[in-house]
Each structure stands twice: as C-alpha cells, then as structure tokens.
Amino acid sequence: MIDHSAFGVDPWCLYEQHLDLSLMPHSESLFALSNGHVGWRGNLDEGEPHGLPGTYLNGVYEVRPLPYAEAAYGLPESGQSVINVTNGKLMRLLVEDEPFDVRYGKLHKHERCLDMRDGVLRRAVEWESPAGRRVKVRSTRMVSLTQRAIAAVLYEVEAVGEAARVVVQSELVANEELPAASDDPRAAGVLAEPLVGVSHGQMGSRVGLVHTVRKSGLRVAAVADHIVEGPENLLTQTESREDLGRFTAAVLLQPGEVLRVVKFVAYGWSAERSLPALRAQVEAALAAALQTSWEGLLADQRSCLDDYWSHADVEIDGDPDIQQAVRFGLFHIHQASARGEQRSIPAKGLTGNGYDGHAFWDTETFVLQVLTYTAPAAAADALRWRQRTLPLARDRAKQLRLQGAAFPWRTIAGEECSGYWPAGTAAFHINADIADAVIRYYLATGDHAFDREAGLELLVETARLWCSLGHFDGAGRFRIEGVTGPDEYSAIADNNVYTNLMAQRNLAAAADVAARHPELAAGLGVDPGETDHWRAAAKGMYIPYDEAIGVHPQADDFTKHAVWDFEATSADEYPLLLNFPYFDLYRKQVIKQADLVLALHLRGDAFDEEEKARNFSYYERLTVRDSSLSACSQSVMAAELGHLQLAYDYLGEAALMDLENLEHNTADGLHLASLAGSWIALVAGFGGMRHHDDRGVSFAPRLPPGWKRLAFRILVRGAVVRVETDPESAHYTLESGEDLEIRHYGTAITLSAGQTVSREIPEPPERPTPIQPRGRAPQPRGVHAMRDHTVHSAS
Amino acid sequence: MIDHSAFGVDPWCLYEQHLDLSLMPHSESLFALSNGHVGWRGNLDEGEPHGLPGTYLNGVYEVRPLPYAEAAYGLPESGQSVINVTNGKLMRLLVEDEPFDVRYGKLHKHERCLDMRDGVLRRAVEWESPAGRRVKVRSTRMVSLTQRAIAAVLYEVEAVGEAARVVVQSELVANEELPAASDDPRAAGVLAEPLVGVSHGQMGSRVGLVHTVRKSGLRVAAVADHIVEGPENLLTQTESREDLGRFTAAVLLQPGEVLRVVKFVAYGWSAERSLPALRAQVEAALAAALQTSWEGLLADQRSCLDDYWSHADVEIDGDPDIQQAVRFGLFHIHQASARGEQRSIPAKGLTGNGYDGHAFWDTETFVLQVLTYTAPAAAADALRWRQRTLPLARDRAKQLRLQGAAFPWRTIAGEECSGYWPAGTAAFHINADIADAVIRYYLATGDHAFDREAGLELLVETARLWCSLGHFDGAGRFRIEGVTGPDEYSAIADNNVYTNLMAQRNLAAAADVAARHPELAAGLGVDPGETDHWRAAAKGMYIPYDEAIGVHPQADDFTKHAVWDFEATSADEYPLLLNFPYFDLYRKQVIKQADLVLALHLRGDAFDEEEKARNFSYYERLTVRDSSLSACSQSVMAAELGHLQLAYDYLGEAALMDLENLEHNTADGLHLASLAGSWIALVAGFGGMRHHDDRGVSFAPRLPPGWKRLAFRILVRGAVVRVETDPESAHYTLESGEDLEIRHYGTAITLSAGQTVSREIPEPPERPTPIQPRGRAPQPRGVHAMRDHTVHSAS
C-alpha cells in the first residue's frame, strides 16, 4: 500500500511534491494521459529512470502463442498482447556536458501535477548538475481529447544563476528496452522488440517513423513536429534512423533565458491501409494540430473537460480524499473512453500493459455503468465495438458447439485470448454483462437508432447463446450448468445465481427488442417460436435457494461446501490465488469478489429486502476481496441495507485502489473498473440509484457518517437530473429536459425543468453489522482517517 | 479398426502372415518384447521401414517444461517423457551391394510370430534383391524374463539358389530420428536427440555406448556382444562412435550356407552410480548372459513362462479369438511387470511412447487386479514402487495444502506430470485406487511383511489425504468436494460416488492396519484420535442418491444435468474430446468411461442388486466408451446382472482393443489396462469372482451364449484354486494349499486340496437389456463373428 499522502490532496489535481523513485512505476500509471486512442504513461520527459516505459495505441497488439501442457479441443491457440509503440514523449536534456537524470546531481525541486480540469500533466523541476550548473525545467504534456491522433509536450528550460549550454533532444524511439516480465500471472507477457522498421525520415523540424508489428502485421506510424523559441544563438537539426527520430535544439542560455520547445506528435495505425495512406493520415493530423496551435489545443482540452465535468462531476462535503479520488476516477474513465471510437476499453485503459491490455467484463459491468449516465455516447461507442466483433463471437460460439455469439472473456481485437478455460471461456456471464450494458444504455437514453442498429443484434445473439447453454429440466425449470460466475475462487458450477439472473434479463430483453423491431429481427432469423422460447427460458429460469439457511447459494450446492479456514490463513497468504491451488479454492466457501452480492445490486428487482440482508450478511463472511472488482459492489449493498459505515469503508477501498496501490499492481496500469467503482459506490450506493426497468430511475440517498453533502448529476433520456443529498434530505433538480418521473425511496416524483423537489430521508434500518473473514475487513474510514488537506501547486 | 484377420488366430501365438506396411506402427506395439525393465518394440531387425523406433528402459526419461498460457499456484512446472534409448535390436543386412529393405526387391515370404509360451518374436523372410539375389532370413528375438538387463537376437541368413556375398551389421544406435509428434494430445511429446554421448568403445566382438539424458541427467549404458557362425571365409570387425556401436560380419555364402549371428545386449542405467560402476554392471550382465548361452536363455524363458501360465492361463472353449486375446493380454501384462522391480508399470508398459510413458491409476485398478491373483510378487513390487515415491507424494500434498500423500495422476519417477489439473491433480481417486490395490493384495495374499513394511504406510498416508480433502457437514456426513472421478467427461464435482466409496474403504482399511500394527503406526504419528477420525469419516461417508429416479448420481447433481444429444452426434464426432470443448462435456450427462459402474464392481458390497440393475441401466444410456478403461467394467456388471450377450460384446471390445486397434492409437503402445480388462471380464465377469472382504473369495460363474467352457486359476493366500465352468455347472478345485472357504452364488463351500466341488449354476435373472447411446453399442460377438481358425506356423 502506498501512503496516499505522497500525493497532495486537492479537489481537482493530483500532486506529487517530490520524487520518490520507489513510487515511480506506480506514479507512471496515475499520471498517465490518454484519450482512448493514444495512451502515454506518466514517464519522466527524459525517459529514465522509469518503472515501465509505456506508449499505447488502442488496438495495436502483437500475437503470441498460447501454450498448453495438455492440448484440448477449443482452447485458443494464440493470444494478443498490447505493445509499447513508438515513444513520442521523450525530451532529453543536456546541461553543459551532463545529461539531465534525476538520479545524478541535485534535485532542488521536483513537482508534478495531473490537472483534471486542464487535462494536462505539469512538471516543475529545479536541478543542479553534478558539475554545479543549475536549470529550471517545466513541462506540460497532453494527449488531446479533441484531436484523437495528437499528443503534445511543451518543454521549457531556463538557466539559473549562470549561463548554461543546453541541448534538448526531442525523440521518437521504437523498440524501447522493457523491464523483464514478473512471475505474477496478472502481469503482462512482455514482448521484446515487437516493431519492425518500415520507413523513417525527417524534413525541417519534423521526424517520422513507420513500423509494422512483427507477427500481427499491424502498421504503426508516428510523426513529430516542433516549434522552438529561444535566444538567437539557437541551432536545430533533425535526424532519423529505423528506430529513432530526433529533433535537436542547442542553445547557450544566459541566466533567466528560456528555451521553449513545443512538440506535436501524431499517431496512426492500420491493419489494412497502405503505407502512403497511413503516412498521409498522420501528416494530416499533425497539420491540423499545428494549425490549432499549442494554446488552441490547451483551450480545447479545457473546454472538452469543462463540458464533461458539467454533468459527470460528483461533489462531496466531508471527505477530501474521496472527493479527489472520485474525480481522479472519472478523469481516467473519461480519458479511457473519450475517443475509443469503436475500439475496446481495456481493463487498464491505456495506462499500462497489465492483463496484456485486454478488455474484460470490467468494461460493460463497471465502466459503462458510469459512462451510460455521464457520457452516453462513449458507452454506445464501446458497445458498438462489441457489435463490430460479433462475427468473431459467432465463430467462437460455433467452435464451442453453441448457438448465437460467445464473446471472449479477454481480448484486444475480439478473438478469445483466455488461456485458462475454467476462468475464461466458462465465464459465459460476459455475454449477459454485455447484454446488460445494452439494456441499461437503452433504458437510460432511449436511443432508438442504437436499439435498431446495435442493441437488437447484440441481444438476439446473446439470447441464442443462453438457449444453447441452458436446458429445461423435467420440472420445466431452465438450468444453466457448468459455468463460472464472477467469483474467480469458484468455477464450473451449476446455476450460478448471478449468471442465471443476468441471462434471464438478457433473454427477456431480447424478446422485447425483437418485438420492437419485428422486421429487423426477422432479418436475423428470429421467428415467434424463438422469442417464445426466450420468454419461456426467462420465465422458467432456475434460481437455487437454500431453504435451510434462507440464503441463495452462489451456485447449486455452494452453501454445502466446507467454509474456508480463515482463522488458519495468515495475512501474507493473500491473495489466496498465489498461495493455494485453484482446486482448493473452488471446492470451498471462499469468495474472491462479489458474485451473488453483485446480483443483489444489478438484479435487485429479483430479491426482497430480507433476502438481500440475509444474503449480504452470509457472503460478507466469505468474501476476501482478492479482486479490485468487489469493494464497490459490497459498498452499494451495504449502503442499501443501512450499513453506512461499512459502505463508507468499502467506498474508500474502491476509490483509493490505485491512489494507494492496494493491490500492489497499479504499476501495471490503473484498475478502471475500481475507478468506476467509486462513482458506483457514491451514486448507486449512497445515492441509492437504481434503474431496473422503464418505470424510471429511483433513488434512496443516505450519507455516510460525517458527510455534509453529496451531489451528482445523471443524464437520463436527454434530461440532466441533479441529485443533492444532505444528512436530512434529498434534493432533486431537473436541470434540463422534459418532465421526468423518478422515485425517492419508492415514492414517485415528477420533475419539471428548473424545478427542485426535496424529500426527507428515512432513518436507516437497524441490522447487525456484517462480519468479514479474519483480517479482511476494509480499512475503516471517517474523521480519524482524514489527513492534511493543504493544497500545493506546481509552478 | 484393424481387421484382426491380418493376424492369424492361434491359441498361443500371434501370427502375421504377410507384411502390410500400413499396419506396421500397430504391429510394432503388438510384437513388442519386454520384461518390465527393458522394452523393445517390434521393429524390423533392419530398423527400416518403421512406424516408431522404440527401445525403452523403465525409469529412463527426459524432463521437459510444462507450459501454461496462464500460470497458477501448484501447477507442475516440468514433466517427464519416456525416451527412445540406445537401439540394440538393429541387424542390418547387405546382399551383394543391396541393403535388405522390404520396400525394395521382392518379398517372397514375410512371417512373424509372437510365441507366448517361448516368449520370443520369430521372423521368417525370403527376399529377392532388386538385382535378383535371393536369401532366407530368420530371426528370433527375446527380452529375457530371467536376466532383466538382457535382450538377445538370433539372426540367420541363408543364400538361396546362387552364392551371395552377405554382410550383417549388428548395431547399437543412439538418438535415432523419430517421426514428428502428432496433434493428438494422447500421443507423446517426441524429444529430439535426448542422449548426450559420454563414452563408447569396442573390444573383440563387443561394442558399448554410454550416454546421459540431456536434462534429467540419467546415465544409460548399452553393450552388445556377438557369437558368429558361418563359412570359413567369414570376416568380422567392430567399430564405435558417440552414437554408434557396430559389429560387422561379412561372408560369401554358397547356396544353402547359413550365416548365424547371436547378439547379446545388456542395458543399465542409473541416476547415481558412477560411470565405471555402470559400465561394470552392464559388462557383468553380458558375461552372465554369455555364460548362460542363447540356448540357455531360450530354455529359461520357456520355463519362466511355463510357470506363469501354469496358474495364470485362462482357457475358453467357444471363442478362439478371445482365447488368443486373453493370452495375448496376459502375456503382455507379464512382460510389463515381470522384472519391474520397484519401478512403475506404465499405462503402455514399455511398448511405445504413448502418454509420455506415464503410469496412471490404470496400474492399480486394472493391471494389479490380474497380477494380485496370478503373479502376486509382481503386484507387491508395483506397490512398493508407490511406497518408494511416498516422499514426493507427501511433498505434493504439502504443496497442495493437504495432509498425508497426494500421489501423482501421471508420472514416471513419482513427480506429478499432469499439465491439466481438472483431469489430473483433481483426480484424487488415484490415492484410493492405490489403497485399494494394497487392500486387495493383503486380502489375497495375507502377506504380513508387506502389510507391515508397505501397506501400513501407504494406507495411513492416503487416509490422511482424504481427511484433509473432505469435511463433515452439519448433518455429520463426510463430504469430498471439487474432485474428478474416473469419468474424464466430468470434472471437479462434489461427492463422486466412486471416489467417496473408494475413500471410505481406504479410511476403514487404514484404521484396520493401524490396529494390526499399533507400534509401527505410532511411529508414523498415528494415535487413536486419528484412527477414530478415519472410522468416523468412513462411517459418515456421504453417498448421494437420486430418490426421484432411484439412481446414484455419478456425483452430486449429475442426474439433473442435460443429457448429451446423442442423436445429433455423428459417428465421426467420436471420441468427443477431439470435437467438443471440455466445458460442454463436463456440464452434461455423457460418460467417457465407467465411473459409477466401476464402483458397482469394485464396491459391489455397497449396493444391493436392484440398485445395481437400475444404476447400470441408467449409465449404459450415457456411456460412450471413448476410453479403453470402460468396456471391461461394463462387461463385469453386465455379466453380474445377467446381460450375458452384452457382457460378451464388451469382453470382445476389451480383449480386442489392441489386436484390432479399436482406439486408433495402439501404434503409440498397448493399452495394458484394457489387456488386463479381458482377464477381468472373464474372471470377475463370467467367473463372477469378488473379494470384498476377509469372508473369502466368491464366484458366480455364468457363460456367454455359445461357450462350452471357461477355466481359470487364481492364487489366494498361497493356495491355487481352479475354477472351471460349463453352461450348467461350476467346478471348484483346490489344486494346492490349505483348506479354503469360497462361495458359489453366496453359498459357502470349503475346498480341500486335490478335491473338486461342483455346483449348479442358477438361471440368470430376466431383465430388459440396457441400451447404449446411438452408435455406441459394442460390436456384437457370437457365432456369426467367428472366423477362420487355421493355425499357421512360421518356419
């Protein structure tokens, strides 16, 4: 765990006030910039020292074989790994004859700030070389949210005290040396030298490199241009080689004089376009950026973020850490999704190579919850990516001898890349999760075009999958057997309640969407017999229930299994998956991450309140949270059931997952789902927001101890609803849009534009606080957990 | 499937009357010779053409990494693969200037005969070279059953019609080129050039090679000596290189003259002994063989086999194919086990590199059933091998966070080599299978020394495993969850009936043996508390039962699963594992091999007759027999339940598995368990032999339609019991030993030495014949299936 105080607490910025080399791998992820198309890790301008150099293009990957000790039918033979593409952020500095390297000389000042309103990473350094020459270095880095191919750096060097000969080398570097891969299965396979040079060149202040990725054959282009200002003695030159493009500016700076270099970098890639076409594309992007200018890009960036924050922001009075953390999360979610444009949103965005750069259900189940209500166009975009991969998902279903579409458990381009089928292919719930995101999106937006063009096909093909996966038993119950639910400490179980409930919704929604668009549905081969079958399967869906203890087993027989011996498990044996074999985890009652509890949230309409309370209490005793995909769901259900302190503690864990490196792997990239989880815990948890059906959005707000206020907005069917909660009452404002019916603790309220309706908040029910496994209770939050809130600023 | 008529039907020989190159990979396995220490595949003397050259030493393997697409705790990192060691059977022949190769010139005659009483492979060839020179070649090959390090060849060449200059090259060749490995996961990983030369030399007519195995570091020595007879113009020479030792005999033969070469080969290997010690060992073995002489070795071989057949033989009047097949099976079982001497008996013996040369439960559950009652010393030997590997099994249990010993699912030297844990490590029944073999051995022999020295420790450590694998539920039932039973089309299930019943016997027997040897048990840390726990677990063992349909589910909930769509499965989709993903097989009612039906046999004491009948009928509908480990168990239960024709059909499948290549992989080596299965189907099936407890052996004989007689002997507690059955009655003779109580259809009979007791056989019960999945009924046997029984002889 990182002491969060290494990073200053400010409502809109993430500050680093001094450089701690041991935190560098971690801060590189926190300070990553991205627009969903290009991703730059927060590496130092000069490249070294580094934890993991990282420049990513969404969709650019290398193919690697997936080996098996024992082969079997249907195992994917090759995987996809995100690769570190051409590094365009490098700005090397030579002061007299000393390269600027924070490990040498004296660092008088080193501050960094991720500005979440300006959308830039700022750095301010004052450095004294080993020979005693002193310079100030200021840089501002951005990955443009408005021009998706563009990233840019403003790099300024000032001589301090005495004159200094200064050389800045602005580089494009391909095939950077990467640190060796770790043994942790969660870390990525690192691929050495994946890029093969195709062409390189320079012209004026411009340099460019084109490569192909060795095995996947994707073609990647990067070009950089520069605008330099400085004293008249300035000399510039450019050069290029296969893996290097370099622009050099050399100058003698008098004390107080500044060398100012603006670097514009344009990226492009394609699997199909010709070399001239790809080169023209990046040159055009660069021209547009130069035409916009650095200042123009900055202004556009701010304006884009202002627009985002105007409806996505969440305000908290009472916990500055969480205030900062939720904005940090929303900022990174925006970065990951803003310009994905029908590419995936990987589990770690474009902030690191963890999980090989794969997208999982994290996107649909967690990230899209946030985007659907704050940036619906980005949610639609992500779902249209899934639709684009339907042909692959249909092929996979065929290979698995199933109907419809079987979406991959993990992938970059749509092919199944999971090399361990019990926790990959068997996790068929990914298909219901995608369907759920489609249903949620349509419910929230009423976007008929999407419904027709994408929703229908996605729901139909996933419903078909469930029909071939499940079967009716003699008693007319529809059973889905031998699948793996969200909890990865269980596998290949029968009638996982989460899966069955999500499949039930999937099947019913497919019948509904087919009824809305009968002709289009017929074009997909849907006939009334098929939709009847979907409705019958949904209606007959078997949901196991353990009468003896009044609890829903996570899957058939789960509650009959031995309970994990938590008393005998020491703190350093977590995460359990690194210390116990799967077979032992699978056969016992021990839960890695919310599974049934996630069903209590997402299918809350399928349980009554007492069932929820009993289930939540039962599963709290078993859940160890060895996954980042758990705390937020536990927070939501704790809040619903009135365990407000517990909900608060889980919120803290979800929100600070990356800021405090709670899973020790933030260095590989941020956990986007957990970042989304802080919004979910706030809005669905303390805001009590649910949206199960077309009866409208409902709220049941209730603040955690010590908070004075929580406010957020959601976008629903074109309307902007603002919800503000204080300890006594909730205030609902329709900021724009047509009259809208919402519910407050079950009571309908009709909102009209500009009007605020306030309602009292009922007392929470009294229930015994649930107990967690020994040592696995979340860190308590509250007044005693507060820290210094001084705001620092980077110069 | 191979048309068995390619091989002549003879009660004591397996004949091949002409050479069919397409059958060569298959016949190499059938004609393999072995003594359990050295194995020579039935390759042609001249080495080529071949299917798979094969020379094996029991325990000599190479280490290879086991790769995983996704790593996890506790997965074995390296495996062991049997390797093709120095080939000592090569006898190359040059006639004038043409190498003898059956693919060229004209083959006037080519006959081979595996003589199961003499224990040799004979070959008689008459060949005309492309240049028109004619020779007769006769060879006799043996792997000595009496001198374990020794194999030998008699090779004779005779000129026919006109004089011929003949050269015989007798070779030792290391690192032979092997055919490329296939994609079939059941085939072995082929390892290229595993041997590294250490030393080589020649002296007189003797050549020798010593190698180490590249990664495992085992040291292997082979030395050959020769005795030559021929006309006076004979010239001989020897030479050696790193991978070649060669003895050459060149001679001009007049028509009718014969060149006769006897080659003695001695093998040795060690992980520990020094190079001089190993060399001395093989030289000594060679000296002993030379002293014995070829004729002496032949006589010893015959005498050893006469002794074996005197109590192991099974006689059948009514089906010459089965008569031959059961002897073929018994011969190969004897070959695989005769001189194993505390090494494993691999699933394919030393007849091929299939399954990487690993030993599985096949040995204890199938092969040792036969050996225990026909060659008990060999059974004890195999179990002492397991005991020798106990330290590794204890380490594995620790790694898996379990108590006691966890024996490997597949191994050569004792380390777990399974690379797919759901069908490897999770198949914990291997431990109960080993225990069952221990219990059976003690029951059959009363061998107190073994009980003290090996049985106790094996039973105690396996009982400890079950205690840590299972748990008592609230109702006091002992449950064993998340394990895989024998059926490999199911995995990771709860309370597999077979596993639980076998564990129950294991636990009870451990308590019993500890009570027999309290002091020794105390030395293993056993106290009364522990044995009480074992008895309680055995007593409380949970055996699931589906009341609704009156059937035992193979494991919890099995009978609730969807039944496989057999109607939609075409013949070419079998074996299913090559055409369907595991997840689909696992979640449906489809059975690869007898699992519950095997429990009906081995734990027949745990079911009443009507339960057996209902269960058998139920599981017959689901069992596809994609494994060679199924037909014999189905035969046994069909016979017990009175389905005599069905039992007969299954017997045919078990007995002809290799002779007719029913699984299409006999080329990789014989299926020892299925070979054992023909004895099991005859003795336990049609003989109705059971031996569940110390109330003695029971019989319930009943012949299949058309048979006139079945006779076999078993060894029980030092006594030899002969059982002879005709259609009306059974005749029990105690050929030697003290008075013995047996049972005939439940009625006790006391036998005295030399006395024969005859009893009538009751009519079989009338039950509807069980039905198999579409297309999966066994091939019908009976009068119409009979073939030409002419006996041919190799000259």
Mean pLDDT of all residues in B739-766: 96
Rounded CA-CA distance B566/B200 in Å is 59
Give the residue, B178 or B685, on which the prediction is more confident: B685
User: According to the model, what pLDDT value does residue B342 have?
Assistant: 86
CB A207 within 8 Å of CB A224: yes
User: According to the model, what pLDDT value does residue A183 have?
Assistant: 54
The residue type of B144 is: S
Q: Binning pLDDT at 50, 70 and 90, where does residue A18 land?
A: very high
Contact between chains at B73 and A580 (C-beta distance less than 8 A): yes
Query: CA of A581, closest CA in chain B: separation in Å?
Result: 5
Residue A529 confidence (pLDDT) above 80: yes
User: According to the model, what pLDDT value does residue B6 have?
Assistant: 61
Q: Binning pLDDT at 50, 70 and 90, where does residue B476 land?
A: very high
Among B119, B118, B139, which residue's Cα sits nearest to residue B127?
B139
The sheet that has A729-736: what strands, in order across it?
A314-317, A709-716, A719-725, A729-736, A756-760
Contact between chains at B473 and A586 (C-beta distance less than 8 A): no
Mutation for B interface: A66, A70, A477, A496, most B CBs within 10 A? A70
Residue A340 confidence (pLDDT) above 80: no
Rounded CA-CA distance A272/B543 in Å is 61
- B229 pairs with which residues across the strands? B260
Rounded CA-CA distance A224/A152 in Å is 9
- Nearest-by-Cβ selection for A586 from B69, B401, B482: B482
Q: Which residues touch A284 (CB under 8 Å, ≥6 apart)?
A: none
Mean pLDDT of chain A: 95
Which A residues 47-66 touch B at CB under 8 Å? Answer: 66
Closest residue of B to A417, CA-based?
B69
Query: CA of B252, closest CA in chain A: separation in Å?
Result: 54
Tens digit of pLDDT for each residue in B650-681? Answer: 999 999 999 999 989 999 999 999 999 999 99
Q: Binning pLDDT at 50, 70 and 90, where does residue B4 land?
A: low
Q: Binning pLDDT at 50, 70 and 90, where does residue A181 land?
A: low
Q: Binning pLDDT at 50, 70 and 90, where does residue B182 land?
A: low
User: According to the model, what pLDDT value does residue B23 have?
Assistant: 94
From chain A, the residues in CB contact with B581 under 8 A are 72-75, 399-401, 421, 425
From chain A, the residues in CB contact with B422 under 8 A are 422, 492, 583
Any A CB within 8 A of B262 CB: no
Mean pLDDT of all residues in B302-330: 96
Contact between chains at B73 and A482 (C-beta distance less than 8 A): no
Find the farthest-apart pair of alpha carbons in chain A and give their distance in angstroms, rounded: 90
In percent, the amount of chain A with pLDDT more than 90 equals: 93
User: According to the model, what pLDDT value does residue A791 have?
Assistant: 40
Give the residue, B789 or A428, on which the prediction is more confident: A428
Among A362, A352, A141, A153, which residue's Cα sits nearest to residue A263?
A153
Give the residue, A789 or B608, on which the prediction is more confident: B608
User: According to the model, what pLDDT value does residue A642 have?
Assistant: 97
- Nearest-by-Cβ selection for A400 from B76, B420, B581: B581
User: According to the model, what pLDDT value does residue A97 have?
Assistant: 87
As a whole number of Å, the end-to-end CA separation of chain A is 29
The residue type of B406 is: A
Rounded CA-CA distance A4/A1 in Å is 9
Assembly ipTM: 0.91
CB A631 within 8 Å of CB A653: yes
Query: CA of A406, closest CA in chain B: separation in Å?
Result: 13
Contact between chains at B419 and A69 (C-beta distance less than 8 A): yes
User: According to the model, what pLDDT value does residue B186 have?
Assistant: 45
CB B543 within 8 Å of CB B605: no
User: According to the model, what pLDDT value does residue B371 have?
Assistant: 98
As a whole number of Å, the end-to-end CA separation of chain B is 29
User: According to the model, what pLDDT value does residue A795 have?
Assistant: 38
Rounded CA-CA distance A594/A487 in Å is 6
From chain A, the residues in CB contact with B590 under 8 A are none
Any A CB within 8 A of B189 CB: no
Q: Binning pLDDT at 50, 70 and 90, where does residue B793 land?
A: very low
- As given in the structure block, the two tokens for residue B705 are 């339609």
Rounded CA-CA distance A428/B393 in Å is 36
User: According to the model, what pLDDT value does residue A787 have?
Assistant: 42
Give the residue, A198 or A190, on which the prediction is more confident: A198
Query: CA of B426, closest CA in chain A: separation in Å?
Result: 7
Q: Which residues touch B84 (CB under 8 Å, ≥6 apart)?
A: B53, B54, B55, B56, B176, B178, B194, B353
**Any idea which residues of A carry the catalytic annotation?**
488
Reported pTM: 0.94
From chain B, the residues in CB contact with A422 under 8 A are 422, 492, 583
Rounded CA-CA distance A470/A526 in Å is 19
From chain B, the residues in CB contact with A582 under 8 A are 72-74, 421
Any A CB within 8 A of B571 CB: no
- B314 pairs with which residues across the strands? B712
Phi then psi dihedrals of residue A455, to 5 deg: -60, -50
Catalytic residue among B16, B156, B364, B488: B488
Mean pLDDT of all residues in A428-455: 98
Query: CA of B579, closest CA in chain A: separation in Å?
Result: 6
Mean pLDDT of chain B: 95
- Nearest-by-Cβ selection for A577 from B67, B73, B402: B73
Among B288, B262, B323, which residue's Cα sits nearest to residue B120?
B262
User: According to the model, what pLDDT value does residue A3 have?
Assistant: 54
Q: Binning pLDDT at 50, 70 and 90, where does residue A179 land?
A: confident
Any A CB within 8 A of B406 CB: no
3-state secondary structure of B357: helix
Any A CB within 8 A of B426 CB: yes
User: According to the model, what pLDDT value does residue A182 have?
Assistant: 56
From chain A, the residues in CB contact with B579 under 8 A are 73
User: According to the model, what pLDDT value does residue B341 have?
Assistant: 81
Residue A320 confidence (pLDDT) above 70: yes
Tens digit of pLDDT for each residue in A629-653? Answer: 999 999 999 999 999 999 999 999 9
From chain B, the residues in CB contact with A491 under 8 A are 492
DSSP string, A507-534: HHHHHHHHHHSHHHHHHTT--HHHHHHH
User: According to the model, what pLDDT value does residue B298 have?
Assistant: 98
Mean pLDDT of all residues in B298-303: 98
Q: CA torsion, points A329, A331, A337, A338, in degrees to nearest 10?
A: 170
Residue A135 confidence (pLDDT) above 90: yes
- As given in the structure block, the two tokens for residue A721 are 């609803």
Residue B34 confidence (pLDDT) above 90: yes
Mean pLDDT of all residues in B518-523: 98
CB A649 within 8 Å of CB A781: yes
Any A CB within 8 A of B80 CB: no
Q: Which residues touch B482 (CB under 8 Å, ≥6 apart)?
A: A561, A583, A584, A586, A587, A588, B426, B492, B493, B494
* Residue in this structure with the two tokens 């049934």, named with its chain if needed: A596
User: According to the model, what pLDDT value does residue A180 have?
Assistant: 73
Q: Which residues touch B570 (CB under 8 Å, ≥6 apart)?
A: none
Tens digit of pLDDT for each residue in B288-300? Answer: 999 999 999 999 9
User: According to the model, what pLDDT value does residue A192 have?
Assistant: 80
Contact between chains at B401 and A69 (C-beta distance less than 8 A): no
Mean pLDDT of all residues in A352-364: 96
Mean pLDDT of all residues in A762-786: 88
User: According to the model, what pLDDT value does residue A188 have?
Assistant: 47
Contact between chains at A581 and B483 (C-beta distance less than 8 A): no
Compute the half-sphere exposure of residue B326: CA atoms within 13 Å on the CB side of its CA: 24
Compute the half-sphere exposure of residue B206: CA atoms within 13 Å on the CB side of its CA: 15
Mean pLDDT of all residues in A426-435: 98
* Residue in this structure with the two tokens 């599974």, named with its chain if needed: A595
User: According to the model, what pLDDT value does residue B791 have?
Assistant: 40
Any A CB within 8 A of B580 CB: yes
Residue B616 confidence (pLDDT) above 60: yes
SS3 for B406-454 is CCCCCECCCCCCCCCHHHCCCCCHHHHHHHHHHHHHHHHHCCHHHHHHH
Query: CA of B553, closest CA in chain A: separation in Å?
Result: 14
DSSP string, A251-279: EEEPTT-EEEEEEEEEEEEESSS-HHHHH
From chain A, the residues in CB contact with B583 under 8 A are 400, 421-422, 425-426, 482-483, 492
Phi then psi dihedrals of residue A503, to 5 deg: -65, -40
Mean pLDDT of all residues in A765-789: 81
**Chain centroid offset of residue B18 CA:** 27
Give the residue, B552 or A183, on which the prediction is more confident: B552
**B488 catalytic residue (yes or no):** yes
Any A CB within 8 A of B422 CB: yes
